[in-house]
Amino acid sequence: MTLVIATAITACGGPAKQQTDNTDTTRTDSATFDIKGNVDGKAVSLYTLKNSNGAKVAITNYGGRIVSLCVPDREGKLTDVVLGYDSLKSYQKKGEPYFGALIGRYGNRIAKGKFTLDGKPYQLDINDGVNTLHGGFKGFFARVWDVKKADNKTLELSYVSKDGEGGYPGTLTVDVTYELTDENELKIAYKATTDKATVINLTNHAYFNLNGHNGAEITNHQLYIAADRFTPVDSTLIPTGKLQPVKGTPFDFTSAKVIGHDIDADDQQLKYGKGYDHNFVLNQHDFEKPVATVSSPETGISMEVYTTEPGVQFYSGNFLNGADQDGKGGIAYKHRSALCLETQHFPDSPNQPTFPTTTLKAGQEYKTYTTYKFLVAK
């Protein structure tokens, strides 16, 4: 436990550079992070937001990635609760697991990378077995976003996805704003417009471990999800189209329970996902109540999730295996050493007419909001 806390403090240390014009909050703790350079002819930097409680979040405009997120534990010590890398080079590796990234044009999977819109068929990149995952080979996670605003509390990013990029129709203009409040809330606001009909499903792929980014497995975390149903999947993790009740299954988190309680149960859905990797159908998503709450018994840190999205993908880090040796501080992130709660529309919605639509038409504006709020148990 001592090692975990000491390393977390190191990762969360280092002041942000303050400038009177509030145009740059790039970190100066280069001994910790080396995330500067040029990709596709565009400059990449790291930006830090801070609040009055000492919490801070470092975000790079390469993929809009959350690189570190430091919040106080029950002893008031800052703990970095997201997995990631120390260097830009590591984020560019083939097959990296989307650590902290903005995901688009379509988060999650689309069956066989195909859909039809307004009578026209489209073929997307096939980058996940027989399916498309997270926008294809070079989705938003691998793009350099333009920085529209950067100050102590807010980072506003924009990206223009050209017609045909990844196989998707329409030129899509996207704005994403990160805000860190004095209530220890990380707010993410997504907006987008298109010049012709397309499909869109934006999210963030932060990997959380409230024990600390290099802490024990997240199987000891307590999790609550306000969802009476989930979308079961086939062997390629594409939804079957059914909305299955969670009651009486390992997917029932309507009362908080330890994640590890049922994760290895003899259940075909868990076998398909090698654990939890499923979309939960939220009972409500009006931003009034948290749709999910997760907490660590080790640090006392808890996180509430609020969203306007109809679903959340709970992923229990099943494909992390410790083979990746260049996590922050040289950590090899092991099996189930993090969880994701990706707020979203449902996977494969363009091919599932009974699911909430993900079609965005010219003249419409896509807007969605998600907040991760961090608290400490008394």
Q: Tens-digit pLDDT profile for the chain (378 aa)?
A: 222 222 333 357 533 333 333 333 332 333 478 999 999 999 999 999 999 999 999 999 999 999 999 999 999 999 999 999 999 999 999 999 999 999 999 999 999 999 999 999 999 999 999 999 999 999 999 999 999 999 999 999 999 999 999 999 999 999 999 999 999 999 999 999 999 999 999 999 999 999 999 988 999 999 999 999 999 999 999 999 999 999 999 999 999 999 999 999 999 999 999 999 999 999 999 999 999 999 999 999 999 999 999 999 999 999 999 887 789 999 999 999 999 999 999 999 999 999 999 999 999 999 999 999 999 986
Q: So what's the architecture of 2-103+141-199 in CATH?
A: Distorted Sandwich (2.70)
Helix/strand/coil (H, E, C) string of the chain?
CHHHHHHHHHHHCCCECCCCCCCCCEECCCCCCECCEEECCEEECEEEEECCCCCEEEEECECCCEEEEEEECCCCCEEECECCECEHHHHCCCCCCCCCCEECCECCEEHHHEEEECCEEEECCCCECCEEECCCCCCHHHCECEEEEECCCEEEEEEEECCCHHHCCCCEEEEEEEEECCCCEEEEEEEEEECCCEECECEECCCECCCCCCCCCHHHCEEEECCCEEECECCCCCECCCCEECCCCCCCCCCCEEHHHCCCCCCHHHHHHCCCEEEEECCCCCCCCCCEEEECCCCCEEEEEEECCCEEEEECCCCCCCCCCCEHHHECCCCCCCEEEEEECCCCHHHCCCCCCCEECCCCCEEEEEEEEEEECC
Position 13 scores a pLDDT of 55
| Joined tokens for residue 118 | 């307004």
Domain pair 2-103+141-199 / 217-376, same fold: yes
Residue 322 near residue 332 (C-beta atoms within 8 A): yes
Position 263 scores a pLDDT of 98
Position 11 scores a pLDDT of 55
Catalytic (active site) residue 205: yes
The upper half-sphere exposure of residue 2, i.e. CA atoms within 13 Å in the direction of its Cβ, equals 0
Residue range 217-376, CATH number: 2.70.98.10
Catalytic (active site) residue 304: no
Position 378 scores a pLDDT of 66
Residue 42 near residue 73 (C-beta atoms within 8 A): no
Position 223 scores a pLDDT of 98
Active-site entry in 205, 213, 278, 285: 205
Report the predicted TM-score, pTM, of the whole model to 2 decimal places.
0.92
Domain residue extents for the chain: 2-103+141-199, 217-376
Active-site entry in 165, 298, 309, 342: 342
